[in-house]
Every structure is written in structure tokens, then in C-alpha cells.
Amino acid sequence: MTIASASSTATHIALTTLFSAVQDAHLLNSTAGILGWDQETMMPNGGAELRSRQLAQLARLSHETFTTPKMGEYIAAAEDAVRSMPADCADAVNVREIRSDYDKATKLSSSLIAELAQTGSQAQHAWVEARRESDFKKFQPWLEKTVKLNILKAQCLGWPKGGEAWDALADYYEPALTAADVTKVFEPLRARLQKLLDRIRGASKKPSNAFNEFALPIDSQEKFVRYMAKRIGFDFNCGRLDRSAHPFCGGSHSRDVRMTTRYTETCVFDALGSTMHESGHGMYEQGLDFAQSGLPMGSAAGLSVHESQSRMWENQVGRSMHFWKWARPQLSAFFGDACDHFTLEHLYQAANVVEPGLIRVESDEATYNMHVMIRFKLERDMLNGDMAIKDLPGIWNQLYKDYLGVTVPDDRRGCLQDVHWSMGAIGYFPTYTLGTLLAAQLFEKARKDVPGLEDGFARGEFAPLLSWLRKNVHSEGRRYRLDELCRKVTGEPLSADPMMRHLEAKLLPLYGLE
């Protein structure tokens, strides 16, 4: 055997050993993903207590499997093996990102991981009950425990000098993201959005909102949105669509993606918007490399990139005139002649009405990011001790008055509307806005790269956009971080300008403000 072939064999063994061990550990996480989906969709209430213990055990076992000293040895050997490889080749990326995950994971104890998982499961069940009864006090003890555990988690992880606890938690959702980074984006963005909203509020022309108040049977809505998800590209051979209190996308790997949505009798756009949003997540997951499942190259590039996929399909596609030129005739197949009196213009206007409201997932594009900014402020205040948990409803309600000018009537439509904090997902919310900015920037580039892209939507042709995303985003796994991916694909750093161009080009004519 030559020296070169011996070296090649050693490299292969080092990488295969590490990757197999990591994929084995991931099997436990993927199993937990299915149990989590079941908890939100089909599990009877009586299963909540044992389910929390099941998820805690899986979290503990996964953590222990991934953080053994032997895993550290495998990583070190693999690092030696890829040292001469290009930094962005698949093997080198896998090793780099596994090292990053390992270094974070080894700072946390298995007991803390298990307690976070068990608390998250129990808190979600308590949240569903509290939300149903619109009673924050029933959820308050669980949120207090969740925040305390997340503070402990942040302390174990640590954060850069000059930073804060929020930074350590946000790193799990968007690597290296800090509260200072978010603030630099949010403060000028809020001012720009507020200026646009003030102009819209003062407009004499108002688009029709009638379709958003029109009752349609939920069974028919369910068939309609399932059809839409399939047409834009979600593969039901490798996924599902079910109902839950809060829409989400989960599952275990690219060939088993579990989405949920929710329905309101008087607003089909609620179900359609949330379904197209979750389909964006689902198609991203289905576009990841199955052979790399459990490895960084078979994983999403972070939640901001994930949100860019969902927000793009929901907004740039689902709220466009081109989409509704195709979608309007489809209504009769599911609702008969019930919608015949609504014109194309009625539907397009209803999809783009700007009306500050209470619910983030039902909000329009112009106000959506205000909802995110409120949650970001509240998260930081809870973690930094600047707000007592018991005061959350009152402070939430005041911020909604300050940011959006609306009065919150109850907890269900106030601080109990989102599932995230019950899951322990603190540090997540800003990725919605960062993803919204990226969605607009990516879509601008896709329009340039694919001539006639939007004209195709009017014919029900969505494969060209999905193919472009598969090539430029999905196939890259975790090769690039947020800003690096943005620069690579669009040639520019992440910016709010494309989103503002998108909003102004659409909304100003609708409100007679050109």
C-alpha cells in the first residue's frame, strides 16, 4: 500500500467513524421529533405526563451519546483528516459544524437537558389549556420555570464579553446572533415600517377586506389548502399535513416531514397563509440531502434561512397577483359557486389588506415584524430580570398599544398566542424578521435569474422557483451561515431594502399612494 493510499484509507476511516456516531445520536432526536408532533396533533390529554418523561429520556440519551469523550476523540481525528481539504467541501463542513455543536453540548449536563425537555413537554400541555381558557395564571408557573432553566442554560454556555444571556440562547437558532445585532436591524426597520404604516393609515383609498370575513366550510378549506401545498411543491409521499393549536413543521428527516395548520371558518386566508408558510419549511426539509441526514450538510442553515423559505412562499408567492390569477379559478372546485361573486381584485386586495391586529400569524406583511420586535423585547426583559413573569400580560398589552395601536382584550389573543416560550424556545423570534428580510432579497435574485418566474405563477407553475431554491439554498445544508449565504447567492449583505421595495411596490398602489 502506498503512502497516499494509506493516508486516504485513514481519512475515510476517521470520517466514517465520526459521521456514523453522529448519525446514530441523531436517531434519538428524530424519534423525539415524531413524539413531539404526535403530542401536538393526536395524543390524548391523558398521555401528557408520560410523554414528558419519554421526551426527557430521549433528550438525555441523545445528549449523553453525543457528548462522550470518545466522540471528542472522533472529532479530533476527523479534524486532522480534513485539515488539507477546502474549507467549504462537504466533509470539512460536517466536521467543522459537528465540532461547534459538540463544544456547546459539552457545556450542558444531561440532567439539565432532560429537565428542559420534560418541562417543555409539560409546559406545552399547560399552555394549550391556559390558551383555551384565556387564563395566563395557569401558564405562569411553567413560564417562570422555563425562564429559570433557560437562564441556567445560558450561564452554562456563556456569552461574549459585553453581551447578555439572550445571546447564548439565540446562538442555538442562529449561530453567533446577538441582541446587539438584532437591535441594529430592528431600530431603523421599525422607523421605516412606522413611516409606511402612517402613510397607509392616512390613505383615502382602502382595499376590500370582504373575503377575509366570508365563512367557508372548514372541511372544504382543509381540502383546498392541502391541494395548494401539493401544487406549490410539497411532497405528500414524504410528508403530512394535520391540525394543531399553533401551526408548525417538524418530523424526523427529509422523507418524513410533518406539517400542521389551523382553520377559522370566517377566514380561509388564515389556513392558506399558515399552510403555505409551513409548506415553505416543509419543502426546505424535503430538499435536504437524505444521505446526509443527521449531519450538518443534511441540516438547515439556521432558523433565519428556514424562515426565509416559509415567508417567501407565504408572501412573495401567496399574496401576489400572479398567484391569485391562477388560484381564483381553483376556488370553485372546493367551494362550489360560493366565491363566484369575489373578483380577482377582491381576492388580491384581501390578501394584502394592512390592518394592525392582535395575532402575529394572522398579521399582514407591513405589521408582521412589529409583532416580532415586541417578543424580542419581552424575551430580553424576562432573561435580564427587568420584568417579573407575573407582569407579562400587562406589559404585553401596553407594547401592543405602543407599537400597533391595538387594545388586547384577553390573554388568549395576547401573551398566550404563541407556543414558542412553552417549548423553551427563547431567542427564536428575531429569526422570523431576519428570514423575512432574506426572503425578499432571495426572491429579487430569483426573479433576475429565472425570466418569467412570476408569470409562471399565473399558470400554476411553481417548480422553477422551487428548483432555484433547491440549487441555491436547500442543497447547501449548513455550509454557510446567514450573511455568508446571502452574499453568496445575492452578491450583497443582508438588507431591509428589498423587503421595503417589495412592500412599497405592492401596498402604495393598493392604497392610492403612488
* Active site positions, annotated: 278
Cell of 194: 412606522
Residue 284 near residue 473, CB atoms below 8 Å: yes
CB hemisphere CA count around 392 (13 angstroms):
27
DSSP three-state, residue 215: coil
φ/ψ region of 168 (left if φ > 0, alpha if ψ in -120 to 50, else beta) reads alpha
Alpha-carbon distances of 403 from 138, 249, 333, 428, rounded to whole Å: 27, 29, 41, 20
Residue 276 near residue 317, CB atoms below 8 Å: yes
Residue 269 contacts by C-beta under 8 Å, 6 or more apart in sequence? 211, 212, 350, 351
- In angstroms, the CA 216 to CA 213 distance is 10
Cell of 166: 439572550
Task: Give 159's DSSP letter.
Answer: -
Element containing residue 257 per DSSP (H, E): strand 256-261
CB hemisphere CA count around 214 (13 angstroms):
18
- In angstroms, the CA 228 to CA 69 distance is 48
The strand pair at 249-253 and 256-261 is best described as antiparallel
Question: Would you give the distance in Å from CA 428 to the centre of its chain?
Answer: 8
Helix, strand, coil shares of the chain as percentages rounded to 5?
A: 70, 5, 30
Q: Is 134 exposed, middle or buried (0-12, 13-18, 19+ CB in 10 A)?
A: middle
Task: Give 479's DSSP letter.
Answer: S
- In angstroms, the CA 119 to CA 460 distance is 44
Residue 300 near residue 311, CB atoms below 8 Å: no
Residue 2 near residue 87, CB atoms below 8 Å: no
The strand pair at 249-253 and 239-243 is best described as unpaired
- In angstroms, the CA 313 to CA 445 distance is 15
Q: Is 152 exposed, middle or buried (0-12, 13-18, 19+ CB in 10 A)?
A: middle
